[in-house]
Amino acid sequence: MDLTPRERMIVVLLTKGYTDAAIAAELDLSVRTIAYTLSSLLERYGVSTRFQLGLRLGAEAAKDTELEEPGEDKPEDESR
């Protein structure tokens, strides 16, 4: 699987049932960026639905990506 770190994170959230807006909020990106990325991935992997994309890439993306559960506080940088 040849995904960028951002693409991996988007796919992981997609497989957890997040909407484009929820993915955008979680990753601090625009909804248009999420929609564009998902559209590109659909075309690249020859699938036509988000569900098919999740089935095809979800397990691999999850193995390669550490992502906090929604609502978890991110650890603060103690060097400040």
Q: What is the pLDDT of residues 26-41, one digit of tens each?
A: 999 999 999 999 999 9
Quickly count: other Cβ atoms within 10 Å of residue 68's Cβ.
Answer: 10
CATH 1.10.10.10 fits 5-64, yes or no: yes
pLDDT digits (tens, 9 = 90+) for 10-21: 999 999 999 999
Per cent of the chain over pLDDT 70 is 72
Q: Give 80's pLDDT tier (boundaries 50, 70, 90).
A: very low
Radius of gyration of the chain measured on its C-alpha atoms: 13
Q: pLDDT higher for 62 or 76? A: 62
pTM of the model: 0.72
Q: Give 47's pLDDT tier (boundaries 50, 70, 90).
A: very high
**Percent of the chain that is helix, strand, coil (3-state, to 5):** 60, 0, 40
Nearest to 33 by CA among 54, 58, 4, 76: 4
